[in-house]
C-alpha cells in the first residue's frame, strides 16, 4: 500500500475524508516523480472521486481523446459503457455518485495495436489511498482485463470471457466486464449470453448501489 507523503491527507480515514483531502491527493499525484513528464507538460491526472460515491468504475487508462478533453470515457467506448450500465451521462460524471478510477490516470501512449497498457505500479500506489477515502462504495465495476486481473487476482490462464460469464462469483463488491470498445463488437456477437443475462443484472446492481 502507498505511504502518504506530506502533501497528502494526514489521516484520510474512511469516516472523515473531505473534499480538501481529495484535492491534496490530486496534488500529490501530480507531484509524484512517476508523473513528472505529464505534470511538466501541463497534463493533469484524469479521474473522478468523492467521499459519497457509491459506484466505482475501474478501467484501463484514459485514451488520447479523454486526456485532450480532460473528460474520462469521452468516446464511443464511454457511450457504450454508459449504455451497459444503464446510466445517464450526468450520473456517470457526478463524483458524489460515481468514482472513475482507471488503472492509470494518464494516457500511456499509443502502441501498434491500440493504446499502451497502464504503467505498472500506478494503481497499486494510488487506488488504496482513494478507496480508503470512499467508504460508501458498494459496487466496483471492473472494465477489461487489466482492472479485472488486478482486483480479482486471476491466474494467467483464466480467460476474461469465463470471468465475465461467472460474474456472480465475484459479487457483491465486484462486477467484471469486457471492454466496451467498438473493437469488441464481434466478442459481444459471439457471446449472446452477455447482453441477455449479464447486462440486465449489471443494471440492477448499479441501480441498487446508487440508491444505497
2 confidence band (pLDDT: 50, 70, 90): very low
Cell of 22: 481529495
Spatial separation of the C-alpha atoms in residues 18 and 3, rounded to whole Å: 19
In tens, the pLDDT along 129-140 reads 999 999 999 999
Spatial separation of the C-alpha atoms in residues 78 and 40, rounded to whole Å: 28
In tens, the pLDDT along 36-76 reads 999 999 999 999 999 999 999 999 999 999 999 999 999 99
156 confidence band (pLDDT: 50, 70, 90): confident
202 confidence band (pLDDT: 50, 70, 90): very high
> Has residue 173 got a pLDDT over 80?
yes
Q: Comparing 105-109, 134-138, 179-183, which segment has the lowest mean pLDDT?
A: 179-183
CB atoms within 10 A of CB 34: 14
Mean confidence (pLDDT) of the chain: 92
Look up the pTM and report it. Answer: 0.90
4 confidence band (pLDDT: 50, 70, 90): very low
- The H-assigned helical ranges of 51-152 are 64-69, 76-85, 89-92, 122-132, 145-152
Q: If you search the block for the grid coordinates 463488437, which residue do you land on?
A: 185
155 confidence band (pLDDT: 50, 70, 90): confident
The DSSP annotation for 10-60 comes to: S---TTT--HHHHHHHHHHHHHSGGGHHHHHTTPPP--B--TT--EEEE-S
- Mean pLDDT confidence for 73-88: 97
- What number of CA atoms fall less than 13 Å from residue 72's CA on the CB side? 28
Amino acid at each position: 500500500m502507498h505511504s502518504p507523503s506530506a502533501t497528502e491527507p494526514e489521516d484520510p480515514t474512511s469516516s472523515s475524508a473531505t473534499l480538501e483531502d481529495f484535492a491534496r491527493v490530486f496534488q500529490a499525484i501530480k507531484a509524484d516523480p512517476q508523473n513528472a513528464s505529464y505534470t511538466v507538460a501541463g497534463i493533469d491526472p484524469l479521474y473522478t472521486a468523492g467521499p459519497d460515491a457509491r459506484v466505482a468504475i475501474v478501467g484501463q487508462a484514459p485514451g488520447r481523446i479523454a486526456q485532450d478533453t480532460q473528460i474520462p470515457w469521452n468516446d464511443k467506448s464511454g457511450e457504450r459503457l454508459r449504455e451497459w450500465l444503464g446510466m445517464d451521462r450526468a450520473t456517470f460524471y457526478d463524483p458524489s455518485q460515481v468514482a472513475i478510477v482507471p488503472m492509470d490516470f494518464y494516457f500511456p501512449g499509443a502502441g501498434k495495436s491500440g493504446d499502451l497498457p497502464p504503467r505498472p505500479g500506478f494503481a497499486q500506489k494510488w487506488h488504496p489511498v482513494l478507496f480508503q477515502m470512499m467508504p460508501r462504495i458498494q459496487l466496483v465495476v471492473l472494465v477489461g482485463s487489466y482492472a479485472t486481473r488486478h482486483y480479482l487476482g486471476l491466474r494467467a490462464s483464466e480467460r476474461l470471457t469465463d470471468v465475465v460469464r461467472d460474474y456472480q462469483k465475484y459479487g457483491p463488491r465486484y462486477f467484471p466486464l469486457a471492454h466496451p470498445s467498438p473493437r469488441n463488437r464481434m466478442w459481444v456477437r459471439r457471446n449472446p449470453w452477455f447482453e441477455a443475462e449479464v447486462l440486465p443484472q449489471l443494471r440492477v446492481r448499479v441501480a441498487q448501489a446508487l440508491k444505497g
